Structure 1
Amino acid sequence: MAVPVLAFGGILMAVMQTAVVPLLPDLPRLTGAPAGTVSWMVTSTLLAGAILTPVLGRAGDMYGKRRVLLLALSLMTVGSLLCAVTSDIRVLIAARALQGAAAAVVPLSISILRDELPPQRRDSAVAFMSSTLGIGGALGLPLAACIVQYADWHMMFWASGVAGVVVVVLAVWAVPESPVRQPGRFDVLGAFGLSVGLVCLLLAVSQGGEWGWASVPVIGLLLAAVAVLALWAWQQKRVSDPLVDLRLAARPAVALPHVVALLVGFAFYANSLVTAQLVQAPTSTGYGLGLSIVGAGLCLLPGGLLMLILGPVSARISRARGPRTTLALGAGVIALGYVVRMLDSHHLWVIILGGAVVSAGTALAYSSLPALILRSVPATQTGSANGVNVLMRTIGQSLCSAAVVAVLVHSTGDGTGAGLPTLHGYLVAFAMAGAVALVGCAVARLIPRDEGK
């Protein structure tokens, strides 16, 4: 029972990361807060998740993965219930930050499965668990859109809160505590340094479009991120129990999967960002389909279902050819999906097909990444290493969001009306994401065969 329970937690976490997106246009009216403040309901979750994923992964390695997993799920549930009972934007932002702790659920679950399952079951279970990030992301948008359109917006958080209580109870009952521990002292200074560096980096990336990329706050945050993370790396190499073992992380068998995770996170996220905007654009633009928010969300549903199916397929490919091959194949399929998107963005069935191909490639890539990490790090560091890998996906998604917004804003105002992007802008975004996926494919082929084949 542990596998379906952990997968349920992973899907719920990913759903909550995207569920608020359909609500953003209406939140200023619903909360009485300006749009810039409302955007922090997304930013706070991003920042909290990025900070807590490697920190909780390391804590799981040291103090027990099940214990820390229950903490992360509980924080997510409390955040959902707080959102359900308030319209105060300050409480909503703080509650969404609590939900961000759930980003550590997937790497912790992968580590538990690695420790508890026999080898013949491990690969498929880990592949499916890793795919829950994409599955939940693809399913979250249409589910949230339906709730927002046909019910009170608080119902979305009531539903996630109740689901959170259920998954916590099931995890207490079904998930065993891993006996694999790494003794030592928790690196508080390292956790603080990484948190400050990531906040500076991701805050600059996520707010650069609004504040201006050449503005003093953005440049200052980027410079601070470089300085703090450089000091953090210096400190990590000099402590006996570092938060992240940088010497291990620098090995090609570990570092290259992290690089591909960033690139695949970038490439995958563009599909969700661009598709919803393109199909909702009015028909007067010459390319838009004028779909409702629910219709836009349903366009992503086939891709989410396909990811659900392809987890076991990915594990079979990895057993036969090695996870390195599966990772490269997945990145290549993502690029193929964007070729489909560029060939025709006027017919709904082609848009859905292209998005589904991108999702299929993402399922293959996401499913193979943990297998590469688990083969290349000691059992006592799997939580920390997988946490860093998920962090790299998050950074990739953040960079993608900033890049797509910049491309679409640059293409606005060329006769589409109402300040909407041109079709050329969308095509450039597709080409950019496809090119990043091809780079990911090339980097995947560089992963050493002798350590992660």
Structure 2
Amino acid sequence: MSSPQEITAGARPARPVPLIIAVLILADIVSAFEASMMYNALPRILTEFHTTPVGASWVLTSFMLVAAASASVCGRLGDVYGRRNVIIVLLLVSLVGSIVSITTGTLGGIIAGRAIQGVSGGILPLCFGMARETLPEKRVPVATALIAGAAMLAAASGNIISGALIDNFSWHYIFVVAAVVALVSAVSCTLLPRSTTPVRTGRVGWFGSVLFAPAIALVLYGVNESRHWGWIDPRSVGCVGGGLLLLLLWAWRELRSDTPMINLRLFTERKIALTMLATAVLAIGPLGATGFLLQIIMQTPKDAPVGLGLSATDAGWVSFCIAIFGFLLSPVSGRIAAKAGARQSLIIGSAFGAVNALAIALLHSTLTGLIFSTVFLTVATSFILSSLPTLIIEEAPARNTSEATGLNVVVRTAFSSVGTSVATLLLSMSVVAGTHFSTRGAYLSVFTLIGACSLAALALAFLIRPGVRAPAVPAPVPSDA
């Protein structure tokens, strides 16, 4: 039997379509901005609190770990209890995180506040689910593309805004801006239609969230810290291995549960499984290693084998302008997905990712050449980020939209960290004697990695069957026992 969303897929929404999309974009901007807003503040954190780079990095790591867990758990809660309600709660909790970071006056307090802010990582999949629930079916691909593109633009603007606040005021005002934006967004979300999904009165499998969150946190923490510890360090192996064991235990438990937090039976579907694999390889390459690599190239001194000698501010502006171009492209990807299916958008994005790898390998020695090659990356990123959630939406039952797209966000986050760590390892394997500058050969190996990942994703995209969702995977029926 079809769900209420599936029955009313083509119905007129209770609010104007532009209003719904604008509110969802505003909500998603909060999460994306908070993810990147503290990068420029790290030097000030180091000096003000007399801490080490590892200690200061927890300002970023604490947010990332909680955001990854929130993306999966809160997506499911939104599917169960109403996405609008959960979005508003997450925005208000994020506001509390900003207040904690401002008022404590200690590094530990900032880290705690950032961890609380991390719950906003669950907003993106909830926005995807809300778009599917409230918009006419033909508008969903474009809306999904715009939401994904806005996240990319907001992440790039985080560095620009935070840099201006640090230079003219203090790093404390970053949290003031984040708090105001979260409050405005929470109020705006009250304009969204109430969920048409009936609240389920059955119990929720909370064991899944209790086990899944620390499992993901352990894996991501081990991968993230491997850049400092090394991949074969017992701490890296212990964290990643322990997290993977917990994930296996979690998967076994969820498959046996009548009321799982995440219905893993969804991912036995061919289209969803291939989309997750494509997400993983793209996150390692174009979405992970490339962004990290571009900043290294732009900010490395000109006397290094590879480097353009830009300041952090100039590099930030270059990234921001490129992100604007990507956001403007996002409706194009959405329209292609609406007419030809998201598979076609993924094929285009993966192909441009491979072209970008070749172009940046040939043209990275000048700023003009780097910007030219990055245009290909922007096209790739815009099409990839909009196609992945749309592919999930095309296949997953409407009642599981946020749950499924949330796990896709977790996969992307986890493997982006892997991509950054692998790229760092490759660059460190070959350096100029007496310096910390990587050789051209080291950069070439990273370019090759990016190209190989893009081609692998292209192959996976061709294996995905075109078309919309197959018959719904039934949710587990609670037993009478």
**Could you say whether these structures have the same fold, taking a TM-score greater than 0.5 normalized by the shorter chain as the test?**
yes
For 2:403, the equivalent position in structure 1 comes to 384
Quote the offset at 1:302 in angstroms: 2.5
Distance of 1:146 and 1:340 partners within structure 2: 32
* Equivalent position SS for 1:178: coil
Distance of 1:293 and 1:325 partners within structure 2: 36
For 1:38, the equivalent position in structure 2 comes to 56
For 2:79, the equivalent position in structure 1 comes to 61
Distance of 1:245 and 1:3 partners within structure 2: 28
Quote the offset at 1:86 in angstroms: 4.6
Letter in 1 for 2:425: A
* Equivalent position SS for 1:429: helix
For 1:424, the equivalent position in structure 2 comes to 441
The 1:151–1:368 alpha-carbon spacing in structure 2 relative to 1, beyond 3 Å, is same
For 2:256, the equivalent position in structure 1 comes to 238
Residues 30, 87 of structure 1: 8 Å contact kept: no
Residues 305, 439 of structure 2: 8 Å contact kept: no
Distance of 2:469 and 2:370 partners within structure 1: 35
Quote the offset at 1:260 in angstroms: 1.7
For 1:10, the equivalent position in structure 2 comes to 28
Residues 92, 186 of structure 2: 8 Å contact kept: yes
Distance of 2:34 and 2:381 partners within structure 1: 19
Any gaps of 5 or more consecutive residues in structure 1? none
For 1:345, the equivalent position in structure 2 comes to 364
Q: How many residues align?
A: 450
Question: Which runs of structure 1 show a deviation greater than 4 angstroms over 4 or more consecutive aligned residues?
Answer: 450-453
* Equivalent position SS for 2:43: coil
Quote the offset at 1:339 in angstroms: 1.5
Distance of 2:299 and 2:164 partners within structure 1: 15
Residues 253, 451 of structure 1: 8 Å contact kept: no
Q: How does 1:365-444 map to 2 (within 5 A)?
A: 365-414=384-433, 417=435, 419-444=436-461
Quote the offset at 1:45 in angstroms: 1.0
Task: Tell me the TM-score normalized by structure 1.
Answer: 0.94
Quote the offset at 1:195 in angstroms: 1.4
Task: Tell me the TM-score normalized by structure 2.
Answer: 0.89
After superposition, the CA RMSD in angstroms is 1.9
Distance of 2:101 and 2:354 partners within structure 1: 38
Distance of 1:70 and 1:281 partners within structure 2: 42
Residues 337, 387 of structure 2: 8 Å contact kept: yes
* Equivalent position SS for 1:32: coil
The 1:61–1:452 alpha-carbon spacing in structure 2 relative to 1, beyond 3 Å, is closer
Match status 1:102 vs 2:155? no
Distance of 1:86 and 1:350 partners within structure 2: 46
Match of 2:321 among 302, 313, 320: 302
Of residues 86-95 and 150-159 in structure 1, the stretch that sits farther from structure 2 once superposed is: 150-159
Q: Over residues 50-78 of structure 1, what are the superposed CA-to-partner deviations in whole Å (9 max), with x where a residue is unaligned?
A: 11111001111111111111111122222
For 2:222, the equivalent position in structure 1 comes to 204
Match of 1:185 among 191, 203, 212: 203
Residues 396, 469 of structure 2: 8 Å contact kept: no
Match of 1:21 among 17, 39, 44: 39
Match of 2:193 among 155, 172, 176: 176
For 1:115, the equivalent position in structure 2 comes to 133
Quote the offset at 1:107 in angstroms: 0.7
The 1:81–1:354 alpha-carbon spacing in structure 2 relative to 1, beyond 3 Å, is farther
Distance of 1:236 and 1:81 partners within structure 2: 36
Distance of 1:269 and 1:87 partners within structure 2: 33
Residues 303, 357 of structure 1: 8 Å contact kept: no
Letter in 1 for 2:431: T
Match status 1:252 vs 2:270? yes
Match status 1:139 vs 2:174? no
Distance of 2:166 and 2:371 partners within structure 1: 22
Letter in 2 for 1:281: T
Of residues 401-410 and 292-301 in structure 1, the stretch that sits farther from structure 2 once superposed is: 401-410
Quote the offset at 1:114 in angstroms: 0.5
For 1:274, the equivalent position in structure 2 comes to 293
Any gaps of 5 or more consecutive residues in structure 2? 1-18, 471-481
